[in-house]
């Protein structure tokens, strides 16, 4: 079976944006090829402008290919598609007649050592994936950061050279998510830009910069605009790029109404901020792995909300650069000043604590930074450790307790599940909570 026609991911998103259409995408993966194909077919047929996803299983993510192959042989149910355990011919059969220029498919995984995944996806005729040397290392295990950086450099080179003739491989940074929540956005923006610079250094010419919806809509919009601006300032001119927003990655609302309102808010945020693509979440997120039907419903809900949102809002013309932009730029410039080779600069930055992710327990993370949710709902720094940015002057909240942490973790879920929000509270109409040290 031949590979599908070229479906350049970046080109597809750019054309969609030019037509005023937000690309919506699920996080969907099944171990059984027939079920995976059915999920892709339903995604393509949704009443939305969609891209497809092959989300990889946990065995493959951590490099336990023997366990993945054994599960495939036994017919065991997996939590994703084991792309390195299935043959390229099997994956091409999954994609045949679905993946084309109108419906590109991206492989999403979570691996600090992604070489086997990249080999498998290129062998199957795919050329779009995501992750990064920092964002798929620090949150997910104990792989030394230097090993992850080396593995990702090789993966970038393989992706850029192993694609089909004429294809433009695409790589998305997961840096705008990191631990999913409770990280002030300046660090998320900086990590996303730095990882895309890393990708470009190792041969990629089409990238996307991610950002995960956080606790405050106005701050999120500011962060996304900063991400657009910094990408334009730092990425090489010949590197195609767009911004992708993730619907909130933290504790999700438990009610169907709350979950739907949060998804709709993320779609409106994507449109307002000029994001080209949105990774959706479903009403089942707080309870279990979503079904195909629930994923399709989420895609259609997000698309409808985006269509009603109108055109992107113009950027601010006054008011200076903004705190998120200034903070992110400082972090980016600090890392770039350590060494011209990001494969050396990124590990050095974490060794010195110049980049420091809150609540990250990885041995290569300093762990001296701390954030808090301020009374208006914005994420701010209570402590910054050795990072070249200042903590918030008003960070006088009580010391962290388990109760305080749980309150902060549930901040967004509780707000969207509240009767006031279910009765139509606007995205910007936030209750004034007490300051929460997190």
Q: Write out the DSSP string of 140-155.
A: T----HHHHHHHHHHH
Mean pLDDT over 373-394 rounds to 90
Q: For residues 74 and 32, is the Cβ–Cβ distance under 8 A?
A: no
Mean pLDDT over 416-434 rounds to 54
Q: What is the pLDDT of residues 321-347, one digit of tens each?
A: 799 999 999 999 999 999 999 999 999
Enumerate the β-bridge partners of residue 381.
371
In a domain, 390, yes or no: no
pLDDT at 422: 52
pLDDT at 379: 93
Coil, helix or strand for 383?
strand
pLDDT at 206: 97
Q: What is the pLDDT of residues 239-272, one digit of tens each?
A: 999 999 999 998 899 999 999 999 999 999 999 9
In a domain, 252, yes or no: yes
Residues in the chain: 438
> Does residue 437 register a pLDDT over 50?
no
**Which of the pair, 423 or 417, is modelled with greater confidence?**
417
pLDDT > 90 fraction of the chain, expressed in percent and rounded? 76
In a domain, 122, yes or no: yes
How many structural domains is the chain composed of? 1
> Does residue 18 register a pLDDT over 50?
yes
Taking the C-alpha atoms of residue 367 and residue 383, their distance in angstroms, rounded to an integer, is 10
In this predicted structure, which of 102-111, 184-193, 295-304, 306-315 has the lowest mean pLDDT?
306-315
- Which domain CATH number covers 256? 3.20.20.240
> Does residue 150 register a pLDDT over 50?
yes
Taking the C-alpha atoms of residue 376 and residue 436, their distance in angstroms, rounded to an integer, is 11
In a domain, 282, yes or no: yes
Backbone angles phi, psi at 103, to 5 degrees: -150, 80
Taking the C-alpha atoms of residue 161 and residue 168, their distance in angstroms, rounded to an integer, is 10
Backbone angles phi, psi at 299, to 5 degrees: -60, -45
Taking the C-alpha atoms of residue 113 and residue 118, their distance in angstroms, rounded to an integer, is 10
Q: What is the pLDDT of residues 48-63, one digit of tens each?
A: 999 999 999 999 999 9
C-alpha pair distances (Å), 333 with each of 65, 207, 329, 338: 39, 20, 6, 9
For residue 181, the Cα-to-chain-centroid distance in whole angstroms is 12
Which distant-in-sequence residues (6+ apart) come within 8 Å of 21 by Cβ?
Answer: 49
DSSP label at residue 252: P
Q: Are strands 369-373 and 436-437 parallel, antiparallel or unpaired?
A: antiparallel
What pTM was computed for the model? 0.93
Taking the C-alpha atoms of residue 223 and residue 88, their distance in angstroms, rounded to an integer, is 39
pLDDT at 315: 61
Q: Are strands 240-246 and 369-373 parallel, antiparallel or unpaired?
A: unpaired
In a domain, 158, yes or no: yes
pLDDT at 1: 46
Taking the C-alpha atoms of residue 203 and residue 175, their distance in angstroms, rounded to an integer, is 19
Q: Around Cβ 1, how many Cβ atoms within 10 Å?
A: 11
pLDDT at 398: 59
> Does residue 396 register a pLDDT over 60?
no
C-alpha pair distances (Å), 419 with each of 109, 145, 251, 343, 433: 36, 44, 18, 49, 16
In a domain, 343, yes or no: no
Enumerate the β-bridge partners of residue 129.
107, 171
Q: Which domain holds residue 223?
A: 9-308
Q: For residues 276 and 23, is the Cβ–Cβ distance under 8 A?
A: yes
Q: What is the pLDDT of residues 295-328, one digit of tens each?
A: 999 999 999 999 998 777 666 544 457 999 999 9
Q: For residues 309 and 24, is the Cβ–Cβ distance under 8 A?
A: no
> Mean pLDDT for the chain?
90
Mean pLDDT over 366-395 rounds to 90
> Does residue 420 register a pLDDT over 80?
no
In a domain, 348, yes or no: no
Q: How many CA atoms lie within 13 A of 241 on its CB side?
A: 28
Taking the C-alpha atoms of residue 292 and residue 295, their distance in angstroms, rounded to an integer, is 5
In a domain, 172, yes or no: yes
> Does residue 430 register a pLDDT over 50?
no
pLDDT at 226: 97
């Amino acid at each position: 079976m031949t590979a599908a026609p070229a479906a350049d991911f970046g080109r597809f998103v750019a054309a969609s944006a030019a037509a005023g259409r937000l690309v919506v995408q699920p996080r969907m993966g099944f171990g059984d090829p027939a079920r995976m194909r059915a999920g892709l077919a339903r995604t393509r047929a949704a009443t939305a402008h969609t891209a497809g996803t092959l989300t990889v299983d946990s065995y493959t993510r951590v490099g336990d290919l023997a366990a993945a192959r054994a599960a495939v042989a036994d017919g065991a149910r997996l939590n994703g598609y084991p792309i390195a355990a299935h043959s390229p011919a099997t994956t091409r059969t999954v994609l045949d007649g679905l993946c084309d220029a109108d419906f590109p498919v991206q492989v999403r995984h979570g691996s600090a050592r992604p070489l086997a995944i990249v080999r498998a996806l290129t062998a199957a005729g795919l050329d779009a994936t995501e992750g990064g040397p920092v964002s798929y290392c620090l949150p997910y295990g104990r792989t030394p950061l230097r090993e992850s950086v080396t593995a990702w450099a090789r993966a970038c080179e393989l992706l850029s050279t192993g694609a089909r003739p004429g294809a433009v491989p695409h790589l998305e940074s997961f840096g705008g998510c990191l631990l999913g929540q409770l990280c002030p956005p300046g660090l998320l923006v900086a990590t996303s830009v730095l990882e895309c610079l890393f990708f470009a250094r190792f041969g990629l010419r089409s990238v996307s910069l991610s950002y995960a919806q956080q606790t405050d809509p106005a701050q999120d919009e500011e962060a996304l605009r900063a991400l657009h601006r910094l990408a334009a300032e730092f990425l090489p001119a010949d590197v195609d790029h767009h911004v992708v927003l993730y619907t909130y990655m933290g504790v999700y609302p438990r009610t169907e109404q709350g979950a739907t309102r949060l998804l709709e808010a993320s779609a409106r945020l994507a449109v307002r901020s000029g994001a080209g693509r949105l990774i959706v979440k479903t009403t089942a997120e707080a309870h279990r792995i979503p079904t195909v039907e629930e994923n399709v419903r989420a895609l259609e809900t997000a698309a409808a909300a985006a269509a009603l949102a109108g055109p992107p809002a113009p950027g601010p013309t006054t008011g200076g650069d903004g705190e998120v932009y200034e903070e992110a730029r400082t972090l980016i410039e600090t890392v770039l000043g350590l060494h011209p080779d990001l494969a050396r600069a990124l590990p050095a930055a974490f060794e010195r604590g110049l980049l420091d992710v809150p609540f990250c327990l990885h041995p290569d993370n300093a762990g001296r930074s701390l954030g808090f949710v301020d009374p208006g709902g914005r994420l701010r720094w209570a402590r910054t450790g050795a990072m070249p940015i200042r903590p918030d002057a008003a960070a006088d909240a009580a010391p962290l307790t388990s109760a305080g942490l749980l309150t902060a973790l549930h901040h967004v879920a509780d707000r969207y599940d509240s009767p006031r929000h279910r009765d139509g509270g606007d995205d910007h109409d936030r209750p004034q909570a007490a300051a929460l040290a997190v």
